[in-house]
């Protein structure tokens, strides 16, 4: 417990050094982690979503707040909304991978497709149609393997084959954010 307390203070000190937004997001991430721990006896959908939020979405947002030019000005609302949408798409992809790794094949594959469709929609909304087409083509490759996933019945097999497509889609999304 002493080591955990020390790491908590260290994380908050580093976040404070990165700025107010990073500190607020770190405190929020700690709150979500505590909420998830309170649900540790239950392994329901809410527990999985909370876990994906604090393991994937919130660290992404903290990095964006620390490295980006984040201000609480009224003009920054649109970039904030975009950052929240990108973080949600990343957390959704992470959640799908955890579901597939846990042998929840059909649901995990559906969530992974939903994450990719969300990224395509976000790229279209942010006026990046060429990059949206690239992500859609990467999604098509994953969709073609989904029938084999259900036939083989092993999520890890599927993840090994589609991981490159997911990583390329994430790289395309990262390019869209800086373009």
Walk along the chain (179 residues) and give the pLDDT tens digit of each residue: 677 678 778 888 888 888 887 788 888 878 877 777 776 666 666 777 777 777 788 788 787 777 765 544 443 447 777 788 888 888 888 888 888 877 777 788 888 888 889 889 988 888 888 999 999 998 888 888 888 777 777 778 888 888 888 888 888 887 877 66
- The closest of 84, 48, 78, 46 to 65, measured between CA atoms, is 84
Q: Please state the domain extents for the chain.
A: 1-70, 75-179
CA angle at 11 for the pair 81 and 75, rounded to the nearest 5°: 20
Q: Are 170 and 162 in contact (CB under 8 A)?
A: no
CA angle at 101 for the pair 149 and 173, rounded to the nearest 5°: 85
Q: Is the dihedral of CA 48, 51, 49, 178 positive or negative?
A: negative
**Burial of 162: CB neighbours in 10 Å, binned 0-12, 13-18, 19+:** buried
Say what the pLDDT of residue 34 is.
77
31's tokens: 């709150």
> What is the Cα Rg of the chain in Å?
18
């Amino acid at each position: 417990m002493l080591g955990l307390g020390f790491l908590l203070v260290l994380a908050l000190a580093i976040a404070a050094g990165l700025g107010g937004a990073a500190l607020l997001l770190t405190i929020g991430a700690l709150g979500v982690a505590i909420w998830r721990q309170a649900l540790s006896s239950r392994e329901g959908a809410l527990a999985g979503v909370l876990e994906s939020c604090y393991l994937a979405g919130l660290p992404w947002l903290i990095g964006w707040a620390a490295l980006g030019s984040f201000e609480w000005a009224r003009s920054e609302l649109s970039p904030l909304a975009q950052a929240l949408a990108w973080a949600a798409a990343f957390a959704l992809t992470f959640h799908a991978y955890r579901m597939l790794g846990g042998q929840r094949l059909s649901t995990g594959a559906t969530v992974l497709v939903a994450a990719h469709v969300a990224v395509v929609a976000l790229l279209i909304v942010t006026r990046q149609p060429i990059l949206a087409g690239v992500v859609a083509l990467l999604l098509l490759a994953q969709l073609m393997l989904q029938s084999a996933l259900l036939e083989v019945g092993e999520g890890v097999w599927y993840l090994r084959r589609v991981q490159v497509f997911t990583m390329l889609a994430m790289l395309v999304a990262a390019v869209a954010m800086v373009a």
